[in-house]
Homo-oligomer: A and B are copies of this chain.
Amino acid sequence: MSSDLISLRRDLHRRPEPAWREFYTTARIAAELESRVDLDELYVGSDAIASEHRLAVPDDLELAEWYEQARATGVDETTLESLEGGQTGLVAVLERGEGPTVGLRVDIDGLPRPESDDPAHVPAAEGFRSEHEGAMHACGHDAHAAIGVGVLEAIAESGEGLDESRSSSEQGSDVDFSGTLKVFFQPAEEVVGGGKSMAKSEHIRDVDALLAVHVGLDHPTGEIVAGIDGFLAVRHLEAEFTGESAHAGGHPEQGRNAVQAMAAAVQNLYGIPRHNDGRTRVNAGVVEGGSAANVIPEEARILAEVRGETTELMEYMDRKARHTIRNAAAMHECEVAFTTGAEAPSATSDQELVDIVADVAGRTAGVENVLERDELGGSEDATFLMRAVQENGGTACYVGVGTDHPGGHHTATFDVDEASIDHGVDVLSGAIERISRTQT
């Protein structure tokens, strides 16, 4: 099994596709599943997500370019058609008798950054470095996709091999799943843009327990974190300032200076009061404005993000940030228009599932160390799915699978130790099986 998963992971690594451009990736996963797993349902692209809830979708030109690039590889045309306009991702369903519906969420997108060509970088040395210049799987989502396929395969086999005559104790702890398994291959996590569209789809509604997974995060191969917490709720916010241009030498008084407005906003955004209820964040991550040295700038833009330890704290920051920007614009007699970009709420891992994962992990070959909890300290839109399940009365848990990674996440030399793919498959399929029995 592993060697197939490694091949799959390497193929995906070679063709990293950033958010909402996972055309090849989606098609490749679909083909892999069809050839290897006896699925009950496979929802692809527009059938897998609630398209109207996609966030941070690139423009048509950008989408078209990646779409054509994927088509050129010869992937299945019918599959491709269902992905048109950046409707990527899949939901794979296995039905194996009575029991709860267990979900697993894996993300599949790459990052818009170049990959190292240093011979010490394994993908470069072994020939599966990114063929898409300027794009890279620098956060392990290629491994996540492989784990998703592997878990489906493991559970499919466990179900098939289930012999009613044997007592459950005679069977291995991870070989008698009973219920429904749904694996969510989620697009666009890196821009926190895809989680909402899956959380709003019908597929999440009947999920009783959801697991999500991430490799690495500074945990070494052989270490499992049963329940990751500390997700900061996040929202992206774009502000476009419009003033009025004027000749900077001749009539500065006739301008309404959008760059002054933007600068006043930036200065005061970072000065939004810290909040006693927990961590808050704000960042004016991208700014630009003006057209020429001798023209009072008519236009400026801030792409900001706000975060909070809770969704409420993020909303506090969002409210304050808009207020600050609005008044900075007004101060310089500019108009300002907001576009809300991607977002994700905060979420916590339920103790009930954390206990199961910890216990299963402790019994899994290759796992040397199990941490019950750790903090992420960043954001993740798996939280949309986690909260959707929790709000429906279900439980959710975000699992960390350690992997030795030479470079940090999002850097040019990030890579995964492929041994961790098996660990992920084993721990997750074991936990899924256990959940199915526990909740029956």
Contacts and interface: CB of A to CB of B under 8 A. Distances in A.
Contacts of A307: 248-249
A413 to B, nearest CB: 16
B274 A285 contact: no
A282 B268 CA distance: 14
A292 to B, nearest CB: 5
Given A281-B252, A293-B286, A331 B268 contact: yes
A405 to B, nearest CB: 15
A215 to B, nearest CB: 17
Interface stretch (A29-37, A62-70, A115-123, A295-303): A295-303
Contacts of A277: 253
Contacts of A293: 236, 283, 285-286, 303-305, 341
A42 interface: no
B234 A249 contact: yes
A280 interface: yes
B268 A266 contact: no
Interface of A: 232, 234, 236, 247-253, 255, 257, 259-260, 262-264, 266-271, 273-277, 279-281, 283-297, 300, 303-305, 307, 316, 323-324, 327-328, 330-333, 341, 377-379
Given A260-B270, A267-B271, A253 B281 contact: no
| Most chain B CB neighbours (cut-off 10 Å) among A290, A331, A377 | A331
User: Sorted from nearest, which 8 A-B pairs have the closest CB atoms?
Assistant: A270-B271, A327-B331, A263-B266, A248-B283, A285-B293, A288-B288, A263-B263, A286-B290
25 contacts: A248-B285, A249-B281, A249-B305, A249-B377, A251-B276, A251-B377, A257-B273, A262-B263, A262-B266, A262-B287, A263-B287, A267-B267, A267-B268, A268-B331, A270-B271, A283-B295, A283-B296, A285-B292, A286-B293, A287-B287, A287-B300, A294-B305, A323-B333, A327-B327, A327-B328
Contacts of A289: 286-288
A277 B230 CA distance: 13
B253 A316 contact: yes
A232 B294 CA distance: 12
B281 A291 contact: no
Contacts of A328: 327, 331
Given A259-B266, A264-B267, A274-B279, A377 B250 contact: yes
Given A323-B333, A327-B331, A249 B378 contact: yes
| Most chain B CB neighbours (cut-off 10 Å) among A249, A251, A259 | A249
A251 B280 CA distance: 12
